Amino acid sequence: MAFRPYLAFKGNCREAFTRYREIFSGELVLLTYSDVKSDALPPDGTPPDSILHAALRSGDDLLLGADSPPGTFDGNVHGMCANYATTEVEVAKQVFGALSEGGQVQMPLGETFFSPAFGMCIDRFGTPWMISTAQDSTA
């Protein structure tokens, strides 16, 4: 079983996923409402160039998201964090720095009792993130 984060955005999904691709690399697919030929889409008030579905695949990892229809999402995410885990402290530092740029650091990246490098931030798009590295299994 795999759980995949599906992030909600208030009209800035394209910008967010373009940035995530810069940070994580991988293949990015963006589907707009105007790409879909259906009388049911887009919902009232939704710009046709809004992102209906975004998918960033990097190796076996998949990050998903979309612009929420107007009036359904205030842009604030509560009760969850997207988690990025790596085995390399230097990679964690790079990713944390890139995600926190223009955002808000909630817990600076640093050593904890459970991780050589752990930190929390909210990126400039409003997505909360946890960045962590695994403990050395030889210790």
Show me where the domains of the chain are located. 6-67, 82-133
User: Kind and range of the H or E element at 17?
Assistant: helix 13-24
| pLDDT at residue number 114 | 94
For residues 56 and 74, the model is more confident at: 56
pLDDT bin (cut points 50, 70, 90) of residue 137 is low
Percent of the chain with pLDDT over 90: 70
| pLDDT at residue number 138 | 44
HSE of 18, CA atoms in CB hemisphere, 13 A: 5
What is the tens place of the pLDDT at every residue in 20-46?
999 999 999 999 988 988 776 777 778
* 1.20.1250.20, 3.30.720.100, 3.20.20.70, 3.30.230.10: CATH of 6-67: 3.30.720.100
How far apart are alpha carbons 107 and 100 in whole angstroms? Answer: 11
Handedness of CA 39, 41, 46, 48 (dihedral sign): negative
